[in-house]
Amino acid sequence: MFHVLKINYEKPIDVIDQTRPAHLEWLGDEVVAGRILLAGRLESGAGGVLITGDISAEDAQDIIDRDPYTLAGVASYERLSFNGGIRAPGL
């Protein structure tokens, strides 16, 4: 199962940016581990999106729960899960 994890900022951007370095370090570790394939801020600046690898719903929730943004209470998540039945080679 693949997951689109939409991050919604719950605090002003200056508050978000205080936690951003820890979030980016954590995110880098998730990418290296293969749990996150793609990540970036929304064009609007109101949050971000993470695309996971083929992981369980429980693992996706674990990603959400361990994000420094979640731990700091500055953002919330929406999870959209899909089976990824049609994939690019190598996924």
- Going by C-alpha positions, the residue among 80, 7, 3, 71 that lies closest to residue 45 is 7
Instruction: Decide: 16 and 90 in contact? Cβ < 8 Å.
Output: no
Specify the 3-state DSSP secondary structure of 40. strand
Q: What is the pLDDT of residues 55-90, one digit of tens each?
A: 999 999 999 999 999 999 999 999 999 998 888 887
The beta strands (E) that lie in the chain are given as 2-9, 36-41, 47-52, 75-82
Domains of the chain: 2-82 (3.30.70.1060)
> What percentage of the chain reaches a pLDDT higher than 90?
91
